[in-house]
């Protein structure tokens, strides 16, 4: 029983580390685009509300 749990934690730990390393780079790149898009949209909205 111990060996099943030990393997579970080994796989979980390695999987977490690998996933986290890859996800950090990917999310950092895509997140920056999201921020630019969000701020551009809010800028447009505030300009159009000022014109009204």
Binding site for another protein (CB under 8 A): 1-2, 5-6, 8-9, 12-13, 16-17, 19-21, 23-24, 26-28, 30-35, 37-39, 41-43, 45-46, 49
- Taking the complex as a whole, how short is the minimal distance between the CB of residue 40 and another protein, in angstroms? 10
Kind plus residue range of the DSSP H or E element containing 43: helix 2-51
12 vs 18: CA distance, rounded Å = 10
Q: Which is nearer to another protein, 38 or 51 (CB)?
A: 38
Q: Kindly report the CA angle at 28 between 27 and 32, in degrees rounded to 5?
A: 105
- Taking the complex as a whole, how short is the minimal distance between the CB of residue 25 and another protein, in angstroms? 9
């Amino acid at each position: 029983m111990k060996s099943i749990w030990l393997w579970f934690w080994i796989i979980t730990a390695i999987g977490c580390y690998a996933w986290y390393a890859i996800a950090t780079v990917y999310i950092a790149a895509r997140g920056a685009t999201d921020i630019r898009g969000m701020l551009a949209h809010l800028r447009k909205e505030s300009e159009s509300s000022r014109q009204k």
